[in-house]
Each structure stands twice: as structure tokens, then as C-alpha cells.
Copies of this chain bind each other. A is one copy, B any other.
Amino acid sequence: MEKIKVGVLGATGIVGQNYISLLENHPWFEVSYVAASPRSAGKKYSEAVAGRWHINSDIPANVRDLVVGDANNVKEAQGKCKFVFSALELESNLIRDLENEYAKNHIPVVSNASAHRHTPNVPLLIPEINPAHLEIVHAQRYANRSYGFIVVKPNCSLQSYIAPIFALIKAGYPVKKMIITTMQAVSGAGYPGVASFDIIGNVIPFINGEEEKSEKELKKILGRIENGVFVYDESITVSAHCNRVPVLHGHTACISLEFGEKKPGLDEIKKIWTEFRSVPQELNLPFAPSRPIIYREEENRPQPRKDRDADKGMAISVGRLRKCSVLDIKFVTVSHNLIRGAAGGGILNAELLKAKGFFD
């Protein structure tokens, strides 16, 4: 099978680099186009990232010598790739317009950016949770009169706990209330991101916009499409405390939650999590973790440094399930913010799109 040619927008940033690294040897996709700001445009990729290639393995050989395009110029991408991953780092309104531009010019956009997360006809996709939301892509294509469309993924912090929540809901135990405290890694802030002067031996109990994003995005992901319009799930209320901690990669979340009237026992919950499988597993997508949720019985796990890489960084690790004296249960989750929570999550989205025929 010939591989599908893909582009990466924002290819010189930390998430863009992760895309390029993770796509090396991908069975379905191959990076044929990279684009970044005008400052980098025209240089070889290896020159554009000289001194700031952040991945431990070297730049993939097939990307090293690609000439970087100007991400602002959609024309440059045309003919070079079938779709693009967007890891743009610009102001939100600029990203919104630019991604629209690609979509209107027949280039599908699989995006990491927050700009379109609440755009009415854009799905906020996690393949294990709401693959059916892809139906709205047809409406986008029709509205744009274009082959192009936009699909986005949620913020990285949400990724670390949404699968366990969804697994419980799907098993027949609706969740009504959640209080979440995250301890997020510095790589979630991009590069240069958090100054070492601020975070060495410290905790910063604030991440701009993160709590609001977490609280709102969850409702769209768990929502449904009715008459071609998203209906957010207002039956679940989330309150988030987001903190930055001196961890390189891996977001940790401490969660207390309350069910509706039906309340599962602790053992049943562990069983639900351990047995949880969904569409990506059924379709055997290349980046799908074999077990999306890994429950760890050790009393002091999951930990970001030890568990973030589970199943190549695509699985969510959960542990410490116990009763909560205020709500019903409490537990801890960890996921890799740059893999499952960023580039890996984006690739899984693209794989689902491919499997569902959106790139035919």
C-alpha cells in the first residue's frame, strides 16, 4: 500500500517535532511537507530546528532535508500532502482563520490547537470515546464546498482522565460531578514554556485558561449531535484545579467523582477499566493502545515518570481507586501529555479518519 502523504504545520515547535518523530516508519502516513513561520520558511528542516531539536532520537532521515514551507501560505501545501497535522503556535484567532483556510482549500486539518474546539461543526475527537462525532465532518465539507475539513483534539490535561470517566459512563454508571486536581508537566507548555527559574523546586498553582478548557471541553466530548448540532452534556459538572510541577513529561490528575443513582463497587470499576476497549482497538489502528486503560494495583502508582510511556505513551494509567468521603470515589491518573495528549492523540485521530474512509 502506498503511504498517504501528510504535512505538519508548526513543524519546528515541540509538538510539531513530536509529530515528525512519531510518524517515522508509520505504516500508513509519511511526512512529505513541513511548514512553520516565515522565519523558518525556505530553510532545510534540519537547519530550521538546529539547536532546538528536542527529541532524543535524531531527526528522521526523510524529513531532515525537506524545505520548510510558510504555514501562512496554503498554496505551498497543495499537491504536497493529502492532509495536515496542525501544531501551530500562534494566537488563537490566527490559527482559527488559517485552519479554515486549509480546510476551504481542500486540505483536511487534524489539529492540536484549541482554536476550533468549540466551533459548532468541528468534532472534538477522542477515538475511544466519540468516534460517532465524525458524522459532522460531512456537514463541514458541505458547508465549505471542499474536500477539506477540521478535526481537533482536546487539551492534554483532559486526556489523562477522560477515558476512565467515559468507561464508567458507557458501562451504565453516569457521572454527575468531578473535582480534579492536575499536576502537569512542563512540556505541556511548549518551548521555551516555563522558565526554570520559576519551577525548580516549586509548584505553580495556575495554568492560564486550562481549568476553563478542561471544564468545558469535557461536555462537548461527552455530548451528542442532534439535528446536525452539538448538544453539550450538561449532566456532568467538573471543577478543575490545574498546577504546574517540575516534571518533564506526564500529567497526573487526582480525581474525586460522584455517580448518579447507580453506583458501581470498587471491584466492578476496576473490571470496567481493565476490560475497556473501543473502536480504535476493534479497528486495530496502528497507534491504538492494546489496553487504553491500565489499572495499577501498587499503592504508590501511577507516577508520571514511570507510567507515562505505557503502551508507547498511548495508554492511560490509573491507580489508587478508593472511596471518597465527600463524593463517591477517588483515584489517580497519569498520561503522556506529548504523546497521548498531543501528537500521538492527533495521529490516532487521523488513523480513525483514514479507517473510516475520510481520506479516500
Contact = CB atoms under 8 A, between A and B. Distances in A.
B200 A248 contact: yes
A181 B306 CA distance: 21
Contacts of A191: 195, 197
A179 B241 CA distance: 11
Nearest to A192: B195
Contacts of A252: 203, 205, 243
Interface stretch (A29-37, A59-67, A75-83, A295-303): A295-303
Contacts of A193: 195-197
A238 B300 contact: no
Given A181-B241, A197-B248, A248-B201, A56 B306 contact: yes
Given A195-B195, A196-B194, A305-B202, A243 B239 contact: no
A47 interface: no
Interface string A322-360: 001111001010000000000000000000000000000
A120 to B, nearest CB: 23
A238 B199 contact: no
Interface string A191-225: 11111111111111110000000010000000000
B239 A51 contact: no
> In the complex, which range does the number of interface residues on chain A fall in?
35 or more
Given A195-B191, A326-B238, A186 B202 contact: no
A245 interface: yes
Contacts of A183: 183, 203, 243, 245
Copies in the complex: 4
Contacts of A128: none
A241 B215 contact: no
B51 A298 contact: yes
A340 to B, nearest CB: 16
Contacts of A177: 326
A312 B149 CA distance: 41
Contact of A187 (B181, B197, B298, B327): B197
A254 interface: yes
Chain A to chain B: the 4 pairs with minimum beta-carbon distance, closest first:
A192-B195, A181-B181, A241-B254, A206-B300
Interface of A: 14, 50-51, 54, 56, 177-179, 181, 183, 186-187, 189, 191-206, 215, 237-239, 241, 243, 245-248, 252, 254, 256, 298-307, 309, 319-320, 324-327, 330, 332
